[in-house]
Amino acid sequence: MSNRWLLLIVMAGTLCACGYLDHRDVCQACRRPLHEQTAYRITLDNGEVQTVCCPRCGLHVQSGRHDVVSAETSDYPSGRMIPASQAFYVENSSVMLCCSLDKLRRDRSGSQYALGWDRCLPSLVSFEALADARQFEQEHGGVVKTYEQLQSEPDFAQPMILDPGH
């Protein structure tokens, strides 16, 4: 086998591996890194599992869909997945693992700007135990809400369409 073919095979394998890792390690809604403490997982009736970075992205993705079989969210203290419908959520706390509003960014021309909107805001952190949610609320601010309360909010009225490559 020539060196040229070997190089092509290695390059193709590297590209496939990078694409695979990228698909698994980033939110399928906003393309941000996944965090064990805030991940949200949706299972569809065709068996497909969609993992997103936080409950806010998860609730947007599943909103208005009729093919969602189950949804799980991470218990913030343990990182363990729990049924999303049984979790308690703290909305708008000071903890924002997905967001970076305090950082200045640069556009292609080199000009600086501050990000003023973020799809993962207000932050949404989930808990298995109401006592943990209340303690977190006292320490980091925000408001404790249930799954049903969040689903009834106008913010989740329109579904978020995922990148068709996922």
pLDDT tens digits, 61-85: 898 889 999 999 999 999 999 999 9
Question: If you ran DSSP here, which 8-state letter would residue 26 be given?
Answer: B
152 Cβ contact list (under 8 Å, min separation 6): none
> What pLDDT is recorded for position 31?
79
State the pTM of this model.
Answer: 0.71
Residues 37, 79 contacting (CB under 8 angstroms) = yes
Structure tokens that stand for 52 in this block: 């997103």
CA 63 to each of CA 9, 19, 55, 135, 138: distance values in angstroms, whole numbers, following the listed order: 42, 27, 12, 29, 29
> What pLDDT is recorded for position 100?
54
> What pLDDT is recorded for position 39?
93
Amino acid identity, position 85 = S
> What pLDDT is recorded for position 127?
98
Do β-strands 112-114 and 81-83 pair in parallel, antiparallel, or remain unpaired? Answer: unpaired
CA 52 to each of CA 67, 98, 121, 138, 145: distance values in angstroms, whole numbers, following the listed order: 17, 11, 14, 27, 20
Which ranges of the chain have pLDDT less than 70? 1-24, 98-106, 112-120, 155-166
Residues 64, 158 contacting (CB under 8 angstroms) = yes
3 state SS of 87: coil
Amino acid identity, position 82 = I
- Which stretches within 63-158 are classed as H helix? 130-140, 147-151
Distance, C-alpha 135 to centroid of its chain: 23
